[in-house]
Every structure is written in C-alpha cells, then in structure tokens.
Structure 1
C-alpha cells in the first residue's frame, strides 16, 4: 500500500516563522501509549518498529497502514478483528485455524489503557488526521445494529431470518469439515477428555434423550434443530417420531437429505420453519439446543410460552444454551461477535433463564453447567479447521476461515476462564393440581 504518511508533521504557531516539525510516532510508540505495565508479547510493524520481548513465542505484526487505521478507528476487538480478517494484522507463532494460544498470551501479556487527552492529541497530530478515516470493513462483517433496525425490530421474524442466514448459511461443506460427521454445532458432553468429538456429541444426545425420558412412539419437537442431529439420533436410537425446525434453509435441506439417506423418513422430519410456527400438536417432549442465544432476553416469556403450548401436560422441556456467568454483564455481545458471528445474539445469566422458565409456568426439575465441556468441544472444532485448512479456505475464502478460527479460539478461552457458561435446564409442564410425571429421583444418568 502506498504510504500517505509524511516524513514529519508540521505545526505553525507564529506567523512568519518556520513551522514546528513534529516527529511521526511509530507503531511501537502507539502501543506504549495505550498499554501499561510490562508487555509480554512481541509486536512488530510495517514501519520497522517493534516492542516486547524478542524471544516471545507468539506475536502480532501490523502489516500495513490500513491495519493501523482499522485498529485506531475502532479500538478494541472490532478494529483488531477487521485488520486480522483482511490480513493487515498477522498473528505469528500459531496456525490461523487455532489462534487460542496467541489469544491467551495476549490476554495475559497486554494490558490496555486509555491514553490521556494530551497523549491522544499528540499522537493524532503526529500521525495525521487522515489516519482516523475508517477504511471500508471486510465483506464478512454484518451491518451495524442501527442499519439492521431498518430491516425490522430486533428479533422480528425477517431480521431473525437474516441473522441466522449470516451465520449458518456459510457453506454446508465448510461445516462438514469443521464440525465432523455428526454435523452438530452445539456443546458436546465428554465422559473423559479422551473421548473423540463424535463420541462426545453422541453422549450429549443421549443425555438430552435421557433427561426427556424419550421412548418409542413418543413425539419430540426440536426447535432450532440445525442439521438435524438430535432429530436423527432420537429417531434412530429411541424410536421417537421427531420433528425439527430451523430458520436456515441450507440446514433444513441438508438435514432432510440425511434423514432420507439413513432411512429415517418414517420417523424424522426437518422443516425450514420459524419455531413460532411449529405445529400446535401436543408433543411429549421439546428440546431446544442452542436456540435461546438467538431469541433475545426480553422475548424469553413469549419463547417459553410457545414451547409450553406445544407440550402435553406432564411433558418435558430441555433447554440447552450459552449463558453469562453473572447478572452484571450486558446481555449484548461484544462488537466482534455481533458483527462477524451472531448478529443480534444475546446471553443472560443462568439465574435469569431459570426465573423465566418458572415464570412461564414450567417446573424446573434439574439444571447443570457444562462450561468446560464446551471448551473441549471448541478445541475439537479448531483442530478440524486446522486439519482441513486448505479445503476450508477454498470453500469459503481466507477471510471467512480466519473469522472462524478466531471466533472459536476466543470462545474456547472465554469458557475456560468462566466468562461464559453452558447450562442445561430440565423442566416439566406440571399440571395445576401438581402432577408432573417426574419421578422421585432422576430417571436418567449422566
């Protein structure tokens, strides 16, 4: 990229006298201004400057002026993500399919701070105000929330459909490579860390089926069913008549084809359908595995009432979703997750969710946290992305592959550090006279 920097910046103060020349700050100067304490990672830049220990095992390289502008015009994770996705910010010492170790070291070795107003003004004057002109964002970035609002209110049907399309309609082949044969894009359950990803996903489906007490001939509704993993497992292993619904047309087409390949068409079906339009038949059980994150916290009452209305008296609901680890953190995601991963996604604390389940006239029977299981699941997906990196890049492009490596590795770190959790809540549609059909002790095993 052609440089727009001048060798120096000048600033006049007295008419008729030579303009005072300001030194142009280097990238290393900028890093010093916005960090505190010891920098334990290596940061280098296109201008030849560097900061941090030379023997660091991982590091960042600001490869261009555009990369610097991305970081300066969107401080925090959004600007760094933009620069990384375009290749203007390189992460060295790790594979782009799994930058987990780099993210861990950056989290521990780089303390950010806000520079003083005088420091910020001096840096900007030295760099030139043109550096604060935002470059166009990468094509992988969703529109900002204020522009999404033009297409409808948050979590209106059309806007929800577009958000699901952004994340899930990337490429079925890409998902096959990353998720593995189960095509399951939710937290697995590991009996031990030696379990394969496929074993752990089967464990998860068995755990859900056990909690729901599924038996041959029963009816199961799986909302937000993805590629139909739970639907096919319930039909194949438990003889259940299962219906799955998803807002992703690509998922529905893949899932229905898989059902036919496995000879399960007499028991299982997946429809391209909003969960709010699922049939009002009385189901014996409802599973929601990874849908609640897309609902919106203020919509929990309507969402849970919709599921309750589809259950028989005494029927069971299993809600499986990512949560915050406390009630203080905002429900809204960070800028990177909102713009590149889950537009309009929201997370609440497990307590908020349990309260909403109670308020919807369910009786909560059991709850458990599978936080560390999701960290192991994400590590498995990152390994698959690394193993199939070239084919993934050929399928979706380098920028999108980088987004996925970054997003999964960052999420893994957040689960490991208890910033987010994964909770399963089991509830029954208990009758007004107190009949729940739930036994004195759980009739399922972990």
Structure 2
C-alpha cells in the first residue's frame, strides 16, 4: 500500500474531497480538489503512530513533516469527523501497512522529540499559582507584538468581536464589541473602570476615548503592557487610561464603578472561579456592574480542557473552560445579581475567520518573525477553534451582574438598552 493511501485510509478519507500526496510520489483521494495534504517525510508516520489521538497529526504538521495546501479551515472541516475517530487500532493499521518498507519501518520505530514549541507536561497540583500563571500567559502572549498586529489587525483585540452585520469588517466588529461592553456596564464620564486581563488595552482606550472613563487595565503579559502604555500615550489618553503589568489579584485599589473581564476567565481554573468573582465583587462600589466575557463549554457536564490536548500543550497552558451554568452560579453565589447573559458563539467563528485570513495574508512575514513552528501552531489552532465554534463544541458567553446596594436598587433600565 502506498504511503498516501495509508493516510487516506487512516483518516477515512475515501469520498472526502481531500487529496493525499507523499514524498514517494504516491497520491490518493480526489485529484481535482482544492485541498491537498502532503506527507513530506517518513517521520510523519512516527508522530502518527506514537502520539495519542490527534496530537500526532498536529506534531507532524507543526514540525513540517506534513503540509496542508489550501485553506486550513476547509481541510479540517472535511476531515474533522474522521480525524476525531483515529484509534489505537487505526495506528496499528498504519504499522501493518508500512512494515514491508524499510524506510517507513525505521521511521515508525523512531521515537521523535515533540516540537520545540510544545509545553512539557508539569505537575497539575501547582496550577494557577501566580508564578505559574505568569509563565503560562507569557508563553502565549509574549510571542511578538508585531506578529499579533498582523493577525489581529489595528484594534489589537484578541477576543471575540461582535459583528453588527455579516458584512462588517473585523475592525468594525471589535469596536462594536467594546461598545457593547461599555453600554452594558452603563459607563459615563467620570466613572472608574477596572479592566482585568486587559490585553493590549483595547477596552481601556475605548472606555477612555468614547466615554470619558478613568480606566485601570492589568495584564500578566509584559509585552502587552508595554504596547498598551505606548498606544495610550500616542492617542493622548494618559490622563484617563493606565495599563499595568501585574496580576489582577494584586490590584490594591477598590471602589470601582465597573469591572470588565474580557477573555481572562479561561485562565483562572475551575477551583479558583469562586475566589475570582469574590475578588471582583469586592473591588466594586455598591451599585457597580461587572461584565464577564469568556469562552465556555456548551454545557456543565463535560470535564474542562484536556490537559494533554493540543491547545494546552501549544497555545494555552493550564487553560480551563467552564460551562455557562457553572459561571452563572458562581457569579451569583459571590454576591452578583445576574441581569443579562448572551451567547456570541457565531461571532467568535467569524472573528477567527478574519484572524485566519490575516495570518494567511502575512504568512511569509509571520514565519520570518516568529519561526515556522509558532506560525504553524497558530494556523492550526485558529482554524480548529473556528471549526469548534461552528460545530458548537465551544461557545462565548457574556454575563452581566450588579453588586446591589443596601437599597436593593439595581440601577438597571427596565429593559435592556443595548443591542448587538
């Protein structure tokens, strides 16, 4: 059996419009398709056979032993069901198929090191200490501000956008997202906003510029903080906005009128969620509002993010996703009256579509800036996440709560005064 045919069978590729081509000249699958998977090295077989689940294919792609020609999202969409079904038996079939080829047999017998950008597994008991959280955040965000500028665009917003229409641009959608958060929080001139996990300062600058709010943003990424402070100064907002390189748990100020948390909860860890909401509740004035915006599981019955999966190994070390019901319960139990909740799942799929397009448009520059392995991780990760949102494997929820004063008056309008 040819090598291309082996990969076609392992991925159950018969009938799927994907072509497989191998370095030995073999081809399988549809020849007139717009997607081609190229097996460039016999060592791709080693990764496929020796790594659990889909991790072997990811390792082979990140290291360049497999190449994907064509749109990555389209490739994953067409192969997603088959790829999720790769079993130990399937890997044994690969071994049986290549046993007569000395080169492939030797490659399959070789135990390769994981790609250099893969985070090695560490003890789970020490997760979410301040030191380890700082290391995890640095791994993902301190890659290159230039790289992020190419992927995220001028807004430098690395969170789900909100598209007013299907034809809205990424920049229009990111502006709409920040403005939606601001309106839910009821921001007005003179208020004080705490923005935890502020990234490159997009929300802080929007609140300061558009609403005259005094904002403190905090991030564990040194590169983000430096970029944000420079941008704040360049936009003439230094009298209103500040971004600090610090853990949100170390913020000494209190008495804020509002708190925004956009994309931080994924890094908290389930055991720390009650303390996280309790801390933010204490930072608010009575009557203050808190908006929590984060990726979630679609329900509360599944376990959190696989610690041995691709995303935890390559993208978000120690990341954990919770169900929306769990977050609502914990937020409520820590003193917030829940006033509004919505799922923006489709919007995140559209956001990732635009980020993927940006990366493809700057592919050569991205590889030169961060290296081939990191660029490949991002291409695979963002396309896979887009598919996850499209298929309801993950969601994006915004939850709005109020810290009620002694009078129990929420200060909320009788009906929601915002729209998507």
Give the TM-score of the pair, scaled to structure 2.
0.92
Q: 1:67 aligns with which of 31, 39, 44?
A: 44
- Listed one character per residue, the Cα deviations across residues 120-154 of structure 1 (whole Å, up to 9, x for unaligned) are 774686564762443122222111244xx5xx701
2:27 paired with 1:27 = no
Report the CA distance shift for 1:236/1:156 in structure 2 as closer, same or farther (over 3 A).
same
Seen in structure 2, the aligned counterparts of structure 1 residues 58 and 252 have a Cα distance that, compared at 3 Å, is: same
Q: Is the 8 A contact 2:6 2:94 kept in 1?
A: no
* Corresponding residue number in structure 1 for 2:217: 244
Gaps of 5+ in 1: 1-24
Cα offset for 1:72? 1.3
RMSD: 2.2
Does structure 1 retain, via aligned residues, the 8 Å contact 2:117–2:373? yes
Is residue 220–residue 240 contact of structure 1 (8 Å, CA) maintained in 2?
yes
**1: CA distance, partners of 2:92 / 2:251:** 59
- Contact 2:8-2:14 at 8 Å conserved across structures: no
Preserved CA contact (<8 Å) 2:147 2:366: yes
Question: Residues 35 and 387 (structure 1 numbering): CA distance in 2 closer, same or farther, change over 3 Å?
Answer: closer
Unaligned runs of 5+ in 2: none
What is aligned with 2:303?
A: 330
Give the whole-Å Cα distance in 2 for the aligned partners of 1:157 and 1:109: 40
Deviations 1:17-64 (A, max 9, x none): xxxxxxxx6535644764558352322323444432333331212111
Query: Aligned residue for 1:279?
Result: 252
Report the CA distance between 1:109 and its aligned residue.
Answer: 6.0
Compute the TM-score of the two structures, normalised by the length of structure 1.
0.87
Greater C-alpha Rg: 1
Alignment partner of 1:137 is 2:110: no
Whole-Å separation in 1 of the counterparts to 2:126 and 2:350: 36
Find the counterpart in structure 1 of residue 365 from structure 2. 391
2:54, 2:86 within 8 Å by CA — same for their partners in 1?
A: no
Q: Is 1:93 matched with 2:93?
A: no
Rounded Cα–Cα distance in structure 2 between residues aligned with 1:250 and 1:375: 27
The residue aligned with 1:299 is: 272
Which residue number corresponds to residue 262 of structure 2?
Answer: 289
- Taking the aligned partners of 1:243 and 1:367, their CA distance within structure 2 comes to 25
Label 1:50 to 1:290 Cα distance change in 2 as closer, same or farther (>3 A).
same
Aligned positions of 1:36-435 closer than 5 A: 36=12, 38-40=14-16, 41-94=18-71, 99-107=72-80, 112-115=86-89, 122=96, 128=105, 131-146=108-123, 149=124, 153-333=126-306, 335-431=309-405, 434-435=408-409
Alpha-carbon distance between aligned partners in 1 of 2:36 and 2:10, rounded to the nearest angstrom: 17
Residues in 2 aligned to 1:395 and 1:121: alpha-carbon distance in whole angstroms = 38
State how far apart, in whole Å, the 1-side matches of 2:238 and 2:224 are.
17
Number of matched pairs: 414
- The offset of 1:76, in angstroms, is 2.7
- SS of residue paired to 2:89: coil
Q: What is the alpha-carbon distance in structure 2 between the residues aligned to residue 120 and residue 68 of structure 1?
A: 8
